[in-house]
Amino acid sequence: MDQDKRDRDAGSGGNPPGDSWVNGLPQGRRWSGIAWSLLFLLVPVLGTATFVIAPYYNHWFPKDVSVHGRSIDDLFYFILVLTGVIFLATELILFWFMWKYDAAASSKPATYIHGSHALEVVWTIIPAATMLFLAIYQMNTWADIKMRRPRMSPSAEVVARQFEWRIRYPGRDETLGTPDDLFIVNDLHVPVDEDFLIQLKSMDVLHSFFLPNLRMKQDAVPGMKQPVWFKATETGTYDIVCAEVCGWGHYKMKGRVTIESRADFDRWLARIEAEQKATQRGPDEIPIAAAD
């Protein structure tokens, strides 16, 4: 009981035996403090290296072939530089403090300080201003991509269902939902250098219409019609990916988007039209109308 009381008064006692435990706290060796701080130094070093090296191995953005994609990528780089600077600064400071203030490195007592009002103000105001700037800076890009829809009737309708993309072109009358509509599955064709407006729907569950090369993604929600628009800048064939889990076959819900010249696009449409007339394929066989 006396020992117990003494413990309490001293606030300490009964430490594990062994000479590495001095005055209550395990005393490290200097080399271990150095080693641990170097381990933490690896975080900014290897972290930065990863981001620098990855593009050289083609582990980076897929090629951008859209008009607005440029502003998304630029914004990404802007944030990358901004956060990169903060990342390096804070991680290097952490490393430096770990290295310098290792208890085994000096016998100086710790600084008795509870904070600094001035510092708090500085490191509140500066990030606040930066974040506010970033918030305002990007609004316009967002509005361009998701809010300022081109004034035109839809160039095509994409209806997602487990596990395919059903695509419908308006046909010669340029109106969706008429008998001359053209139907095709998983094979979207888009004329280059023109605004292209898609009406996106889903028949069953959520899906997400993801065009990595066009920097476009939009969830398809049953019961809603989502407008999706973009302007392609280069011809080629690229992936359409489903990015919202939609069931067991989600991984294989793959489509292709072909960007081609106006002439090629028209030729392709004509061919689809001819094929469709020949096989008499129409809305009856594809229950797309039900989703209207």
Q: Which residues bind Cu ion (CB under 5 A)?
A: 207, 242, 246, 250, 253
Judge if the upstream peptide bond of residue 163 is cis by omega within 30 degrees of 0.
yes
* Binding-site member from 247, 266, 275, 285 for other proteins (CB under 8 A): 247
Interacting positions 200-229 with other proteins (CB under 8 A):
203-206, 208, 210, 212-213, 215-219, 221-224, 226
| Residue 119 binds: one of other proteins, Cu ion, none (C-beta under 5 to 8 A by kind) | other proteins
| Residue 191 binds: one of other proteins, Cu ion, none (C-beta under 5 to 8 A by kind) | none
β-bridge partners, 255 = 240
| Residue 268 binds: one of other proteins, Cu ion, none (C-beta under 5 to 8 A by kind) | none
Instruction: Answer for the pair 101, 252: CB distance below 8 angstroms, yes or no.
Output: no
Q: Which is nearer to other proteins, 94 or 176 (CB)?
A: 94
β-bridge partners, 122 = none
Interacting positions 18-37 with other proteins (CB under 8 A):
18, 20, 23-28, 32-33, 36
CB atoms inside a 10 Å sphere around CB 253: 22
Q: Which is nearer to other proteins, 3 or 263 (CB)?
A: 3
Measured between alpha carbons, how far apart are the two ends of the chain, in Å? 82
**Which amino acid makes up residue 220?**
A
| Residue 118 binds: one of other proteins, Cu ion, none (C-beta under 5 to 8 A by kind) | none
Tell me the window of 48-56, 169-177, 186-194, 266-274 that interacts with other proteins (CB under 8 A). Answer: 48-56
Q: Which two tokens stand for residue 71?
A: 């502003």
Q: Is 52 in the site for other proteins (CB under 8 A)?
A: no
**Which amino acid makes up residue 232?**
A
Q: Which is nearer to Cu ion, 253 or 288 (CB)?
A: 253
**Which amino acid makes up residue 52?**
V
| DSSP element (H, E) containing 96 | helix 69-100
Interacting positions 135-174 with other proteins (CB under 8 A):
135, 138-139, 141-143, 145-147, 161-162
Q: Which is nearer to Cu ion, 168 or 207 (CB)?
A: 207
| Residue 56 binds: one of Cu ion, other proteins, none (C-beta under 5 to 8 A by kind) | none
Instruction: Answer for the pair 188, 240: CB distance below 8 angstroms, yes or no.
Output: yes
| Residue 241 binds: one of Cu ion, other proteins, none (C-beta under 5 to 8 A by kind) | other proteins
Rounded to a whole number of angstroms, the minimum distance from the CB of residue 257 to Cu ion is: 16
| Residue 252 binds: one of Cu ion, other proteins, none (C-beta under 5 to 8 A by kind) | other proteins
Instruction: Answer for the pair 163, 206: CB distance below 8 angstroms, yes or no.
Output: no
Residue count at the site for other proteins (CB under 8 A)? 119
Interacting positions 79-118 with other proteins (CB under 8 A):
79-80, 82-83, 86-87, 90-91, 93-94, 97-98, 101-103, 108-116
- In what side-by-side order are the strands of the sheet with 187-191? 187-191, 255-260, 236-242, 207-211, 216-220
Instruction: Answer for the pair 154, 176: CB distance below 8 angstroms, yes or no.
Output: yes
- Residue 65, SS3 per DSSP: coil
Q: Cα(208)–Cα(13) distance, rounded to whole angstroms?
A: 61
